[in-house]
């Protein structure tokens, strides 16, 4: 018997089953949405390590919040809103810790100054992009994380943050411009 059986039920059905005590149903929801949740959290907080803890906390909170889920938004959007809010709360409550992590990441990047191939260059670029995100205001960082790191559509991003699609478009354009300036002006260490 396989250790994990994939459940093809729709998300709403899985929610109903999880509310009735079916832990495997909630586990399937987590499996389906974990990758996008990790990308969203990493984009908001700027740390993939921190994102893992945030997503874990958010999914626990989501499980506890199942009785309050009313189905007004798709389950994915509801869960991602919990992830985004958990990430924002983590940033607010752990500002000092983030500064120490930033210094540590900068030191790590200095030791990796030997880009020997595409993988190393890609990792350096990704680190620079995350560093550029950290220079942005929270609102800019969140919309870029949702759109370009988590890969959400404009409509999903709008639903996630409770704003019109046009607002998502304008925030994303302005935030991209600010991130480019940060990279071009050297506000961000590239390595």
What structural domains does the chain harbor?
11-184 (1.10.1740.10)
What pLDDT does residue 107 have? 46
pTM score above 0.75 = no
Phi-psi region of 100 (alpha: psi -120 to 50; beta: other; left: phi over 0): alpha
What integer pLDDT is reported at residue 84 of this predicted model? 95
According to the model, what pLDDT value does residue 114 have?
A: 41
Query: Mean pLDDT, consecutive 10-residue segments, the chain of 191 residues?
Result: 67 94 95 96 90 96 94 92 93 64 52 43 63 82 88 90 92 88 71 42
Environment class of residue 34 by beta-carbon count within 10 Å: exposed (0-12), middle (13-18) or buried (19+)?
Answer: middle
Alpha-carbon distance values, 113 to 100, 108, 123, 130, 155 (Å): 21, 9, 11, 17, 40
């Amino acid at each position: 018997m396989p250790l994990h059986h994939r459940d093809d039920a729709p998300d709403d059905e899985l929610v109903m089953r999880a509310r009735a005590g079916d832990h495997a149903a909630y586990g399937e929801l987590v499996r389906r949405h974990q990758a996008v949740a990790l990308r969203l959290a990493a984009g908001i907080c700027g740390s993939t390590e921190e994102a893992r803890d945030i997503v874990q906390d958010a999914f626990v909170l989501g499980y506890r919040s199942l009785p309050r889920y009313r189905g007004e938004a798709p389950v994915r959007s509801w869960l991602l809103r919990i992830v985004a809010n958990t990430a924002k709360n983590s940033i607010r409550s752990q500002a000092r810790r983030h500064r120490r992590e930033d210094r540590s990441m900068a030191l790590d990047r200095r030791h990796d100054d030997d880009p020997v191939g595409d993988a190393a260059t890609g990792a350096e670029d990704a680190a620079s992009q995350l560093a550029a995100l950290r220079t942005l205001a929270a609102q800019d960082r969140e919309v870029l994380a949702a759109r370009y790191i988590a890969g959400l559509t404009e409509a999903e991003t709008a639903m996630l943050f409770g704003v019109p699609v046009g607002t998502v478009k304008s925030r994303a354009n302005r935030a991209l411009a600010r991130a480019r300036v940060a990279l071009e002006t050297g506000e961000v260490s590239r390595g």
